[in-house]
Amino acid sequence: MDMAGSKPQLTWVVNISVVLLVVLWIIPTVGLLISSFRDRDQISTSGWWTALAASERNFIQRAAAPAEAKPQGAVWVLSGNVLQASGGQVVAFGITSQDPEAFAPGEVGEHKSGALISVAANGDYTITYSQAQDGTRGLRLFVRAKTAPAFTLDNYREVLFSEGMGASLLNTLTVTIPATIIPILVAAFAAYALAWMEMPGRALLIAAVVGLLVVPLQVAFIPLLKLHNTVGLGKGYLGIWLAHTGFGLPLAVFLLRNYMAGLPREIIESARVDGATDFEIFRRIILPLSFPALASFAIFQFLWVWNDLLVAKVFLGTGEDELVMTGRIVELLGSRGGDWEILAASAFISIAVPIAVFFTLQRYLVRGLLAGSVKGG
């Protein structure tokens, strides 16, 4: 049994567990960030953890057409560079698929056609023919090259401007911000009424709110969409704002009501003695004191709406002017599934804003949840 004021013997276990959880969460995020700045060749040939080290890759480069060879004395010479704009250094090269690394840089190999081929370390190649050529198909050169670490912003430029992620980012913000603010405004009034205003059936209302927490939102999709179509809302931003408001209200009312009910009763009673109305008490006392709980729900609601795909597909649509970021990423998975650099940049753009919001408000998240879970009235 621990003495009063002493630390539990298993504190180090808790600390290590927390550190491991943090590391397990950070590693994939860091890997995604690094991959989003690498090009396709780097991602396909090496892992993100080797991004700061030189990497080697094998590729096939077709030389220029033999007809482009220029006369030099008694021979015809064709020149070019196998590395082109990618840079790096040639480690080995070959002229057949059976032995793609037969020669070191600077050595000369003889092709079965009789052409003499040499590739320098900087990628410059020369192909020497004994006579003029009229072919239009260049010889294949098998190259192993070492590439220095390199990072690029091209992935983000393509994602934001060519792949439509920029427009989807604006669509997501258009959905998320109102769908976060509206439930907070509505739930704050309801929570104050359930916490401090005497009314018949208040206990039943609180029980109904708690019951709604366990109802899957999927069961409401069809009835709610039919209601939207009946009243003329259809699919659009107003419809999805109201849908997210309805789905988020039970948690918001429950969280805020528990927090507000735990505020000191003396403050509210003193304000009433001084002649303050319920609205004045709510605006000047309750709201400022309830900021941690408001921030807690704002984080939950923002992250849920930002990462939502199903509700957006049902109540907003999939048009180019309506597609949210999660829907855009699903499209990219189908059309650009092999372009890992595009998917990495798209995914990191989609998580950057939620990460910023979470770390900005996370101290209020803990305070609001703890206060709301242990206090009641």
pLDDT tens-digit map of 39-74:
887 887 778 888 887 778 888 888 888 888 888 888
- Whether 224 and 344 map to the same domain: the answer is yes
Single residue among 82, 115, 147 that ends a domain in this structure: 147
- Over 50: is that where the pLDDT of 179 sits? yes
What's the pTM value of the predicted model, to 2 decimals? Answer: 0.72
The answer to the question of residue 6 being in a domain is no
The answer to the question of residue 173 being in a domain is yes
Name, in order, each residue with C-beta under 8 angstroms of 372's C-beta and a sequence gap of 6 or more: 255, 256, 258, 259, 262, 293, 296
Contact 286, 192 (CB under 8 A): yes
- Whether 168 and 307 map to the same domain: the answer is yes
The answer to the question of residue 1 being in a domain is no
- Whether 216 and 318 map to the same domain: the answer is yes
* Domain with 22 in it: 11-50
End-to-end CA separation in angstroms for the chain = 34
Q: Which residues pair with 127 in a beta bridge?
A: 78, 117
Q: Which residue has the tokens 């969409």?
A: 225
- Whether 41 and 62 map to the same domain: the answer is no
What integer is the mean pLDDT of 318-328? 82
The two three-digit tokens of residue 266, written as one number:
């003396």
Query: Domain containing 348 — which CATH number?
Result: 1.10.3720.10
Single residue among 116, 147, 178 that ends a domain in this structure: 147
Kindly report the number of other CB atoms within 10 A of residue 288's CB atom.
Answer: 9
pLDDT at 374: 45
- Whether 276 and 165 map to the same domain: the answer is yes
- Whether 230 and 246 map to the same domain: the answer is yes
- Whether 136 and 248 map to the same domain: the answer is no
Q: Which residue has the tokens 């505020």?
A: 263
Domain count, the chain: 3
- Whether 310 and 367 map to the same domain: the answer is yes
- Whether 25 and 92 map to the same domain: the answer is no
- Whether 178 and 319 map to the same domain: the answer is yes
- Whether 36 and 94 map to the same domain: the answer is no
- Whether 209 and 305 map to the same domain: the answer is yes
pLDDT at 20: 92
Contact 250, 213 (CB under 8 A): yes
Single residue among 126, 147, 168 that ends a domain in this structure: 147
Query: Domain containing 64 — which CATH number?
Result: 2.60.40
The answer to the question of residue 5 being in a domain is no
- Over 80: is that where the pLDDT of 327 sits? yes
pLDDT range class, residue 372, cuts 50, 70, 90? very low
